[in-house]
Amino acid sequence: MLLDARSLDEKAVLDCDVCIVGAGAAGIAIACELAGGPLSVLLLEAGGTSFHAAEQDPLQGSVAPSSPHAPAHLYRRHGLGGATAVWGGRCVPLDPIDFEARPYVPHSGWPVGWDEVAPFYRRAHDYLRSGACAYTVPEALGADAPETISGFRSDVIDTDRIERFSEPTDFGRAYLPRLRHASNVRILAHAHCLRVETAESGAVTALACAGEPQRRFAVRPRFTVIAAGGLEATRLLLASDGSRRGGLGNESGRLGRFYMCHIENTLGRLCLTPQARPAVVDFERTADGVYVRRKFCLNADAQRRHGLMNATFRLHFPFISNPAHRNGILSAVYLAKDCVLPEYRRKIATIERAQRDRMVQDWRFWAAHVGNVARDTVPVGRFGADWVRRRILPQRKLPHVVVRNRNGVYPLDFNMEQVPNPDSRVGLGADTDAFGVPRLHIDWRMTEQDVDSILRTFRVLRDAFARSGCARLDLDERSLEAQARDSTPIGGHHMGTARMAASLRDGVVDANGEVFGTPGLFVTGSAVFPTCGHANPTLTIVALAVRLADHLKMRARGEQAASIAARGQMAA
C-alpha cells in the first residue's frame, strides 16, 4: 500500500512492528525481505515516486572551507529508490582483509568477520541484478578468458579481479510493485522523520515525523531501522539528542566521527612494452549479459608486508581535458562534459586542476579539441551510435566511456581506502531546514597516512611492473606528492559516521546494527562501516540490510516465544 504523509490527519499516530526510515537500497531490501511475513512494516520516504527538486532541500548543508568535499546535497536523493535512481551500478564486495584489525591501521577491525557477511553478498546480487557473485576473471568470464595484461606475472599484484555492474537498478522502480502488493507493508511517501524520541530507559517511544512543515504525525514501532544513507542516518541520530550526550548512540563520543570516503585520482603512466602488448581495457560481458571490467590490486600479503591501505587500479584513458591526446572520441566527450553525471564532471575538474601548470584553456585549446573531433569523424560517429545502442536504449546499460590508447600508454585510475580518522567528521550546523532540523556540517579530511599510502603503493606498483618486463610505470617524483594530496573524496561514498563495534566504548552500533543504549533502534548502511576497503559500498550496504532483516525476524520470533512462555508460567 502506497500512502502520502501529506494527507494524514494532523497528529495522527501510526503503529507498526518495524518502521524503516529511508526507501533507498537498504530500506527497500529490508522491506522486501519482510514482505509477506507476520511483522507489520511501515516504510518512510522523505520524497515521492519521482524526483522533485524542492524535496531535496533538507539534504543541503555546509562544508568546512578547508575540505575538498562535494556540496552536502550532491549524490544524495530524496525519493523512492534513494541514490539508486542516480548511481553508476558498480558492484564490488569488501575483501577479507578489510574486516581484520590491522596493526598499521588505527581503529580498524569489524565486530563481524568476512565469513559472516559473505553469504549475504549472494543474496544482495539478486536485488542489484548484477548476476553471479563471481569476482575473478576465470569465475566470471571462463578459464579461456585472455589475461588482463598478456604475460604479466607478479607476486604482489592481482590482475584477475573484476568489478561487476548492475543495470544500474533503481530500487524504487524495481521493487515498488512488489511492496505495494504486500499485505503487511505500508509505504508512506513525503514522510520526513525529524527525531527519535526515547524513554529514560533508552527505549524508543515514538518517531516524530512530518508530511509538511506544519503537518506533524508520530509513529510507534516495536523496532526502528534507520536506513536513510551514510550522512542522513547520522544527522537523525545527532538531532535526536534527548540523552544530551550529543546524539543517540554517542556514549563513546564517536557519533559523526571517522567520516570516510574513498580517495580517487589518476596518477602515473603505465607504458606497455612493447606498446602493442595485448591488454584488456574495455568492458566485457559475462554469459548472463552483465557488464564487468578488469582491475588490479595489491594482494593482501603485500598490503600487510608494506603496511598499505587497500586500493584498486584500472587502466585509464589519457587526460580527457588535454587535447594533446589527439583522440576525437575523448575530445567529443570533453566538449559534451556538461551532459555527463556530476561526479564525472567533478573528476574532470580535478584532473584540470592537476594539469593547470601545463594546460592553458585559450582559443588554441578549444580549437585543438574541435580539430580532434574533425579528424576522427568516422570513429566519433561510430562511438555515438554505439553509445545510443548500448547506453541509451537498453535496460542494462554500458557503464561509461572507455577508450583504448593507440600508443599503449595508460594513466592509472585508483580508488583507495582511507584511514579511519576521528577528526574527519560530520556534525550539525547552525542553520535548520523547513522542518526545523539542523542541517549537516561536513569536515572531511585526509591524513598524512593516507598520502603516504598513496605514494608508497604507487612505488610498489612501479617496482613490480619493472620486474615483470611487461610494462613500465612512469611517475613524476617531483610532483607526485602534490598530485596525491590533490586527490578527492568520491562523492557518493559516505561511510563510518555511526561505526559498528564490539562495545559502546568503540562505536555507535553493535554487530547487528543496534544502537548502543537504545534497544530496538537499528542503523544500516555505509554509516556503520568501521573501515571502508576500496570497494564501492552499495553491494555491502544491501548485504548488511538483508542480514539485518534476518536478525529482525529472529528477534521477533524470540520475543514472541518468550512472551508465550511467560504467559504459560503465569497461568501455571
Q: 310 and 387 share a domain?
A: no
**Hey, what amino acid is at 151?**
G
Q: 93 and 177 share a domain?
A: yes
Judged by DSSP in three states, 234 sits in helix
Task: Flag whether 255 is in a domain.
Answer: yes
pLDDT tens, N- to C-terminus, the chain (572 residues):
999 999 999 899 999 999 999 999 999 999 999 999 999 999 999 999 988 898 999 999 999 999 999 999 988 999 999 999 999 999 999 999 999 999 999 999 999 999 999 999 999 999 999 999 999 999 999 999 999 999 999 999 999 999 999 999 999 999 999 999 999 999 999 999 999 999 988 899 999 999 999 999 999 999 999 999 999 999 999 999 876 678 999 999 999 999 999 999 999 999 999 999 999 999 999 999 999 999 999 999 999 999 999 999 999 877 777 787 778 888 888 887 655 555 455 555 555 555 554 556 777 888 888 898 898 889 889 888 888 888 889 999 999 888 888 788 999 999 999 999 999 999 999 999 999 999 999 999 999 999 999 999 999 999 999 999 999 999 999 999 999 999 989 888 999 999 999 999 999 999 999 999 999 999 999 999 999 999 999 999 999 999 999 999 999 888 777 766 666 666 65
Q: 379 and 499 share a domain?
A: no
- Count up the domains in the chain and report the number: 3
- Domain hosting 247: range is 1-130+169-262+420-437+494-572
Task: Flag whether 357 is in a domain.
Answer: yes
Q: 297 and 352 share a domain?
A: no
Task: Flag whether 249 is in a domain.
Answer: yes
Task: Flag whether 465 is in a domain.
Answer: yes
Task: Flag whether 442 is in a domain.
Answer: no
Strand 409-416 vs strand 263-272: parallel, antiparallel, or unpaired?
Answer: antiparallel
Q: What sign has the CA pseudo-torsion 94, 96, 99, 104? A: negative
Q: 196 and 91 share a domain?
A: yes
Report pTM.
0.93
Q: 174 and 92 share a domain?
A: yes
Grid coordinates given for 499: 561505526
Q: 346 and 463 share a domain?
A: no
Q: 8 and 90 share a domain?
A: yes
CATH number at residue 16: 3.50.50.60
User: Is the CB of residue 255 less than 8 Å from the CB of residue 235?
Assistant: no
Q: 295 and 363 share a domain?
A: no
Cα 317 from Cα 407, distance rounded (Å) = 11
Task: Flag whether 489 is in a domain.
Answer: no
Q: 373 and 430 share a domain?
A: no
Cα 493 from Cα 499, distance rounded (Å) = 15
Task: Flag whether 228 is in a domain.
Answer: yes
How far is CA 483 from its chain centroid? 24
Q: 3 and 120 share a domain?
A: yes
Task: Flag whether 296 is in a domain.
Answer: yes
Beta bridge partners of 196: 207
Cα 107 from Cα 286, distance rounded (Å) = 38
Q: Please name the residues in contact with 328: beta carbons below 8 A apart, sequence gap of 6 or more.
A: 372, 373, 374, 375, 376, 377, 379, 380
Full DSSP string of 437-485: PEEEEEE----HHHHHHHHHHHHHHHHHHHHHTSEEEE--HHHHHHHHH
User: Is the CB of residue 163 less than 8 Å from the CB of residue 91?
Assistant: yes
Q: What sign has the CA pseudo-torsion 28, 30, 32, 36? A: negative
Asked whether the bond before 394 is cis by omega within 30 degrees of 0, the reply is: no
Full DSSP string of 367-395: HHHHHHHHHTHHHHHHHHHHHIIIIISSS
Q: 176 and 293 share a domain?
A: no
